[in-house]
Amino acid sequence: MIVQAIQLFFTPEVLIACIIGVIGGITVGALPGLSASMAVALLIPITFKMSPAAGLVLLVSVYTAAIYGGSITAVLIHTPGTPSSAATALDGYEMTKKGKGLKAIGIVTIASMLGGTFSALALLFIAPKLAQISLKFTSLEYFFIAVFGLTIIGSLAGKSMVKGLMSGMFGLLVGCIGLDIMNGTPRFTMGIINLESGISLVPAMIGMFSISQVLISVEEIRKGKTRILDEGVSGLQGKMIPTKAEFLKIFPTILRSSVIGTIVGILPGAGSDIGSWVSYNNAKQFSRTPEEFGNGSMEGIAAAEAANNAVTGGALIPLLTLGIPGSGVTAIMLGGLMIKGLVPGHKLFTESGNITYAIIIGFLVANILMGIIGLLIAKQVVKVSVVPMTILCPIIIGLSTVGAYAINNSIFDIYIMIVGGIIGYFMRKIGFATAPIILGLILGPLAEQNFRQSLVLSRGNMFGYFLSRPISIFLAVLVIISLFSPIIMKTFSKNTTESTPADTAKI
Amino acid sequence: MSLKRLLSLVVVLSMVALISLTGCGSKPDSVTDATPEAIKYPTKPIILYVGYSAGGSSDLLCRILAAKMESYIGQPITVVNKTGGGGWVAWSEMIRSVKPDGYTFSLINTPNYPLGKYDTANPREYSYDALDVLVNHVTDYNVIAVRNDDERFKDFKSFVEYAKNNEVIAGSSATGIMSDDGTIIDILNKDLGTKITIVQTAGAKDNETLLLNKSADILIGNVSDVFTGKNNEDFNVLSVFSPERIGLMSDVPTAKELGFGEIYGNSSRGYAIPKGVDSQIREILVDALDKTINDPEVIKQLEDMGAETEYIEGDAYIKFLEDGIRRAKGVYGIE
């Protein structure tokens, strides 16, 4: 069957679909607002006319490539193309400012490729077994995952923990806007119907990251700084491919992040954005140099990138084996599968096995192809960081506005973007980080919904219900460790070696 | 250059980019020739509003329709997702600000559209006749399903007996009158004396997951929700809440034939235009919808997704909607 699948993959139609999917996906991903889910949704009608294998290979290739493409702009111009790349912007942009944009892109590309390939192999060899994980997690487990993700706010806080927590709380508060999930009552919508489904994440994120960055850049232009690069940095420097020592440093992170990403992907309802944050948090806790995180850490970039691409393969696992989508994008793909008469389930791997395996092989090849194309174009795209800011800023504003509008075809979302940009600008001016707001906005609703669901599922005995679920207990312990690990680490490192004082000049 | 001009430029640019992205070539809101005598329709692409996000089952239905309808009406149909408010962002705009020129029509979903007015938590201002309703496309009847390996429930009768004496949990993605699933649960609890508790979820897929991971005991959803699970023998569909057995699952008995009375419920999707569209234009549109919806290729595509076509037009469609409203009002005792 595998042989048949390989033969099917190497038919011209499928191969071309794979290549177009990768190139198109990188492009769409790099444009802010035009996210992976949108690209896949718009492509589904186009696949009607294609053979099942070609159509689905196109969709999976676009999916993984868009998640990668979004990171390029996150690194170079602090504009995450998709929400999955927000974590990458933190360290990637710092590297770009230091003139090391090429190396940052190199790490993004290698980590994305390895993470995606890892998940593709998991999908190819052990999908049915892994799919069972998705059924072990219920509302209570998701609640703890969301809380675990929220503990990262501490490590995103920058100089002041209090300010970081305030940002996070603000994000959680903004996340409360919209219809109450339990009884449909509008909360803080002030009668505005567009607010009923909550503050849209993508416009808010574009505002907080891109628009606020443009405003800061405009200010710097007036002060005489014309390029993204920091003063004193003469030009682009460094090689794209990391040195052996650097690679050895980031490789364990990539491996760990690939596993985390794949598992988060398998879980229904948790996508690339959550995967990248959880993995970033984890990498910081394991790192020997956690003080570099937020100041241009290669480990930070590698963690976020390996994880967000590993989510893509992970998310396909329950989709294909159980018909339960592992992420928002795969939920859209489900329709594309069904229309082709490919009904998810074990029959997909037996009766129409050659098509299914051709799709999986296509996904594997797409991840590798994405890496190759990424490395080939890296030297060219990185030149963006030496383009004068007077040219770059209007372009970013234009693309961001198009993106904010396009996600829901809504002018209202452009207002959200502008308000987000202004709030983000002033917060950054007075030393508040914006990343915790986005994190609160992503994870707050997830935590609330799942906590309230588990209250019902516990049938009135919450504590007993918690004790009867070992995975929940494990995750709760993780949350506690994550909260107190900085203190534990501090006492631990005092006993061994005196660590160098952290460079906290940046936010 | 004033900021306002810059902003409007940016907005226009974004519209142009969007239109080129969705593959249609002309401006959506351009003024039409004001010559009512000679009807030349359509002379430019037609927009179809979907109140739900891209990729969902409503969106997919519209994209399937749009792809085929072009060949019957001679102009491309552009699907535009206007999301939010459970569909009401799109419908409010249709009612308030869309020009009745026949170049914009909208998907309407039951129960959300006709029953929005009776939503207790968040009532809407409009009833179903605020728009000119054209035709129904698919009717997705409610079903009750359990896990195939669940020893407690072999058939609908044994389920009712069990649920009279034990609390059972079911997922539902909206409450009360605004949810066809929730309404069926309320009917069962009221008329048959079952003790079903609802867990609120974000969508039909979540309800399915809750059943599979054994958090929920039963799934009360629609035919399309259990279609995959039934084919994979994960789900045992106990009963369907429709007047007659349905084609996609002809082996599943109706609640009525099992002797539980006329318990009916469904979620349906149809199309509407703003009031005041020229009658000739309306006729051309309905004719094209009729041909597209009854096109064998479209019917087959929808069947593969678990959606059963039920074409209803004109007065029969109005009666269909009114019946649904009356039934729901009866359950909740609304005058």
Count the neighbouring beta carbons within 10 Å of the beta carbon of residue A420: 28
How far is it, in rounded angstroms, from Cα B220 to Cα B125? Answer: 29
Residue in chain B closest to A194 (alpha carbons) equals B84
User: Using N-to-C axis directions, what is the helix angle for A86-97 and A101-136, rounded to 10°?
Assistant: 170
Partner residues linked to A209 by β-bridges: none
For chain A positions 422-441, those within 8 Å of chain B (CB to CB) are none
SS3 of A9, please? helix
User: Tokens 């090391």 — which residue?
Assistant: A100
- Global ipTM: 0.79
Q: Is A453 on the interface with B (CB under 8 A)?
A: yes
* Token pair recorded at residue B211: 């059943």
> Exposed/middle/buried for B330, CB within 10 Å: 0-12, 13-18, 19+?
exposed
SS3 of A113, please? helix
For chain B positions 146-175, those within 8 Å of chain A (CB to CB) are 167, 169, 174-175
Q: List chain A domain ranges.
A: 2-494
CB contact under 8 A, A408 and B83: yes
**The residue type at A294:** G
Beta strands per DSSP E along chain B: 46-50, 77-81, 104-109, 132-147, 168-172, 196-200, 219-222, 235-240, 266-273, 309-313
Which of the four pLDDT bands, split at 50, 70 and 90, describes residue A35?
confident
Contacts of B84 in chain A (CB under 8 A): 193-194, 196-197, 408, 410
How far is it, in rounded angstroms, from Cα A19 to Cα B255? Answer: 52
End-to-end Cα distance, chain A: 54
Spell out the domains of chain B, with CATH numbers in brackets. Answer: 42-140+267-332 (3.40.190.150), 141-264 (3.40.190.10)
Backbone angles phi, psi at A257, to 5 degrees: -65, -35
Count the neighbouring beta carbons within 10 Å of the beta carbon of residue B24: 18
Q: Is B189 on the interface with A (CB under 8 A)?
A: no
Q: String of b and e for A323-339 (b: at least 16 CB within 10 Å)?
A: bbbbbbbbbbbbbbbbb
Q: Are A417 and A396 in contact (CB under 8 A)?
A: no
Q: Is B57 on the interface with A (CB under 8 A)?
A: yes
Torsion of CA A179, A181, A184, A187, to 10 degrees: -30
**How far does the CA of residue A418 sit from the closest CA of chain B (Å)?**
11
Q: String of b and e for A252-280 (b: at least 16 CB within 10 Å)?
A: ebbebbbbbbbbbbbbbbbbbbbbbbbbb
Q: Is B122 on the interface with A (CB under 8 A)?
A: yes
* Token pair recorded at residue B197: 């508790």
Angle at A497 (CA atoms; ends A493, A501), nearest 5 degrees: 80
Q: Are A473 and A141 in contact (CB under 8 A)?
A: no
- The per-residue pLDDT for range A407-435, each reduced to its tens digit, is 778 889 999 999 999 999 999 899 888 88
Q: Is B9 on the interface with A (CB under 8 A)?
A: no
How far is it, in rounded angstroms, from Cα A125 to Cα A342? Answer: 20
Which of the four pLDDT bands, split at 50, 70 and 90, describes residue A504?
very low
User: Using N-to-C axis directions, what is the helix angle for A36-47 and B57-73, rounded to 10°?
Assistant: 40
Partner residues linked to B309 by β-bridges: B138
Q: Please give the average per-residue pLDDT across A10-21, as a whole number.
A: 93
Query: Considering chain A, what is the average pLDDT of its residues?
Result: 86
Q: Are A52 and A341 in contact (CB under 8 A)?
A: yes
For chain A positions 65-124, those within 8 Å of chain B (CB to CB) are none
Contacts of B68 in chain A (CB under 8 A): none
How far is it, in rounded angstroms, from Cα A290 to Cα A507? Answer: 14
Count the neighbouring beta carbons within 10 Å of the beta carbon of residue B151: 6
Of A45, A193, A406, which has the smallest distance from its Cβ to B63's Cβ? A45
Q: Is A45 on the interface with B (CB under 8 A)?
A: yes
Give the torsion sign (CA, A396, A399, A402, A407): negative
User: In B74-219, which residue ranges form alpha helices assigned H by DSSP?
Assistant: 88-96, 112-115, 156-165, 180-187, 204-212
CB contact under 8 A, A194 and B89: yes
Among A193, A196, A450, A451, pick the best mutation site for testing chain B contact (most B Cβ within 10 A).
A193
SS3 of A146, please? helix
So what's the pLDDT on residue B318? 95
Backbone angles phi, psi at A231, to 5 degrees: -65, 145
Of B119, B169, B205, which has the smallest distance from its Cβ to A325's Cβ? B205
CB contact under 8 A, B175 and A183: yes
Tens digit of pLDDT at every position of chain B (335 positions): 455 555 555 555 554 454 444 444 344 444 444 555 668 889 999 999 998 877 778 888 998 999 899 999 999 998 888 887 788 889 999 998 899 999 999 999 999 999 999 988 888 889 999 999 999 999 999 999 999 999 999 899 999 999 999 999 998 877 778 888 889 999 999 999 999 999 888 778 888 888 988 889 999 999 988 888 888 888 999 999 999 999 889 999 999 999 998 999 999 999 999 999 999 999 999 999 999 999 999 999 898 888 999 999 999 999 999 999 998 898 888 87
So what's the pLDDT on residue A493? 63
Residue B217 vs residue A460, higher pLDDT: B217
Whole-structure pTM value: 0.81
Q: Are B167 and B252 in contact (CB under 8 A)?
A: no
CB contact under 8 A, B92 and A48: no
Q: Are B218 and B159 in contact (CB under 8 A)?
A: yes
